[in-house]
Every structure is written in C-alpha cells, then in structure tokens.
Amino acid sequence: MPDEQYKWDDVTAKIVIDALNAKAPNPGPCPICGKRNWQLHPGFVFFSLSDTYGTTKFGGTGLPCISLNCSGCGNTQFLNILALGILPLLEKKAQEQKVG
C-alpha cells in the first residue's frame, strides 16, 4: 500500500509508467500468492552496495529501483531503473528543475 508521504509528480509518474508498459506490459502473477494485484509504489528505492563484507556504506554506488508490491501478500519486486532505461530521463528532469 503506497505511503501518501511519497508521491511522484505527473512527469516522473509518466516516465516510470511508460517504461513499465514498454518493458513489463503484462506482469505475471505473484510468485508467492498467485494473485495479479501489483501496485506501483510512487517512490524510489536505493540499495547500497559494499565491497567489504560486514560494512554498510551510505551513498556511493548502489542499485536504484522502483518497487511493485503485491497487495495480496505483500511480496515486493524491485526493478532497476538502469535496466528500465529511465535514469537519463529522470536525471534530465531533475536538472531541468534545478535550472528552471
């Protein structure tokens, strides 16, 4: 269930939804409960990567993702925005907001 605290603007939502429609237009059923009740959470998730076991680095390299949540059981799937091909669009939008 989406947290109302996080909400994309219309441009960001269109970028993400267009990518999902292009790359994953018909997501299969949830592998846990078998239902097809995927919800797109309107926020970004960032998994930090560390090259040293037992340490956590905040910032730096990582996996920027969006999440699809199954409303039936809570299973959450993460889709990397690099693989979705939308990182350049999101960076361009962020840059335009800084300038304008």
The residue among 71 and 95 lying less far from Zn ion, judged by its C-beta, is 71
Instruction: Tell me how far apart the alpha carbons of residues 52 and 64 are, in angstroms, rounded to a whole number.
Output: 20
* Binds Zn ion by CB under 5 A, chosen from 43, 62, 64, 72: 72
Q: Which two tokens stand for residue 41?
A: 């959470």
Site string for Zn ion, 6-35 (x = CB under 5 A): ------------------------x-xx--
Distance CA 95, CA 75 (A): 34
In the complex with Zn ion, the residue whose CB is nearer, 67 or 93, is: 67
Place of tokens 């998730």: 45
